[in-house]
Amino acid sequence: MRLPEKDPEWLGFRQKILIGLGVLTPEGQPTARLEVVKVGKLARLTGEEWQAERDRMIRVCSNCHSQAFAQQNLEAADSIIKDSDKLVAQAIDIVEGLYKDGILERPKDRPPVPDLLRFYEVKYPIEQKLYTMFLEHRMRSFQGAFHMNPDYQHWYGWAEMKRDLAEIREEAAQLRSSAKVAGRER
């Protein structure tokens, strides 16, 4: 993860994920979890910090490849992450909609959005699917992209994310249908 993000569309996906991670409030304000991210260096929080790491990687890759080749491959991997973030943001919106509509009961000790770090403490399978999509399949998608391993990136990352999203959509539709029959949907 990196912030700030110059691409406005990608920034929207990233903000949705950061809210789901509890790093930002739904209003976009920092939370106490942001300090954990800072200390653990789990995200690049300034453009300069991100660019310094990118420049370092280009230097490493340029030991064997041309600088242009290294830059092109890193940019291609960036596009994989953006596409992966888009899928995760869509899945978060689906689960969040189920909370807002009263179809899924939101635990009292949680924020009004899906909490991607509560994977051991979730009540519904759709929440577990969202967690797996983010922390397992998204990770594999970008690791495969940055290690130039398209087979791993596709089959263990991207294809799994696409399946996760399809299953989340289907389960949400079933939950909505059941709620409508039971008269629970607001």
Which of 2, 8, 6, 7 has its CA nearest to residue 23? Answer: 2
In a domain, 155, yes or no: yes
Is residue 2 one of the residues assigned to a domain?
A: no
148, 73 contact by CB (below 8 A): yes
How many domains, in total, are found in the chain? 1
The reply to whether 106 falls in a domain is yes
pLDDT band at 186 (very low <50, low <70, confident <90, very high): low
CATH number of the domain at 114, please. Answer: 1.20.850.10
| pLDDT per residue as tens digits for the range 48-66 | 888 999 999 999 999 999 9
Print the domain residue range for 86.
8-182
Residue 80: pLDDT band (50, 70, 90) is very high
Residue 164 lies in a domain: yes
Tell me what pLDDT residue 143 has: 93
Residue 185: pLDDT band (50, 70, 90) is low
Q: Decide if 72 is inside a domain.
A: yes
Residue 45 lies in a domain: yes
In a domain, 19, yes or no: yes
